[in-house]
Amino acid sequence: MIALGGWNGGDPYPTLAEFQDMVAKGQIGYYIAGGGMGGGGFGGQGGNSEVASWVQANFQAQTVGNSTVYKLTK
């Protein structure tokens, strides 16, 4: 598991195109919406909102515990 922006949110976020390419190559299988480690989040809070919007528009959300999770394969 990696957080977009790294564990503390200080790393550069991938662009939407880079994220889509990683998903297409099978390098990313799941997306966890919302905040997370060190405030960097997984795209929802503090992350790339374009990535979050694309994931929400193209994949079905599932609730796992208290988290919203998207499986990035069809």
* Average pLDDT of the residues in 7-28: 84
What does the pLDDT look like over 18-70, one tens digit per residue?
999 999 999 999 999 875 543 333 444 445 788 999 999 999 999 999 999 99
Q: How far apart are the C-alpha atoms of 74 and 48, rounded to whole Å?
A: 22
Return the structure tokens found at 21.
Answer: 């390419």
- pLDDT at res. 69: 95
- pLDDT at res. 34: 74
Q: Is the dihedral of CA 51, 11, 34, 67 positive or negative?
A: positive
- pLDDT at res. 10: 67
